[in-house]
Amino acid sequence: EEIEVNVFKKLEKRKVLSNFEKAGLLSKAEELVVALVAVVIIPDDSVGLMVLQVVVAKALVIGAIGLFVGSVILVH
């Protein structure tokens, strides 16, 4: 048996969202999300710096995979 829970309806029924909006918190949260998306999605770095970031990220992923495989081998 599935029980459907609608969080927004419960928050709306308790008037939590309207109180947050009256306090201006929802608008501030929206501004924060938009700013975060702008920083994460829109790169303002040079091409060289972006390439360096990708290389470092790939090296970290390869290192993590190596450590994981090594731990599996050592356990057995």
One domain, residues 35 and 49: no
Confirm whether pTM is higher than 0.85. Answer: no
One domain, residues 3 and 31: yes
DSSP per-residue codes, the chain: ------HHHHHHHTTHHHHHHHHTHHHHHHHHHHHHHHHHHS--S-HHHHHHHHHHHHHHHHHHHHHHHHHHHHH-
- At residue 2, does pLDDT exceed 90? no
One domain, residues 23 and 58: no
One domain, residues 10 and 27: yes
Q: Tokens for 15? A: 């008037």
Query: What percentage of the chain carries pLDDT values higher than 90?
Result: 17
- Across the chain, what does the average pLDDT equal? 82
One domain, residues 30 and 51: no
- At residue 16, does pLDDT exceed 90? no
Per-residue pLDDT, 56 = 94
One domain, residues 53 and 38: no
Structural domain that includes position 50: 44-76
Work out how many domains the chain is built from and give that number.
2
| pLDDT, tens only, 25-53 | 778 888 888 888 877 777 677 888 888 88
One domain, residues 49 and 19: no
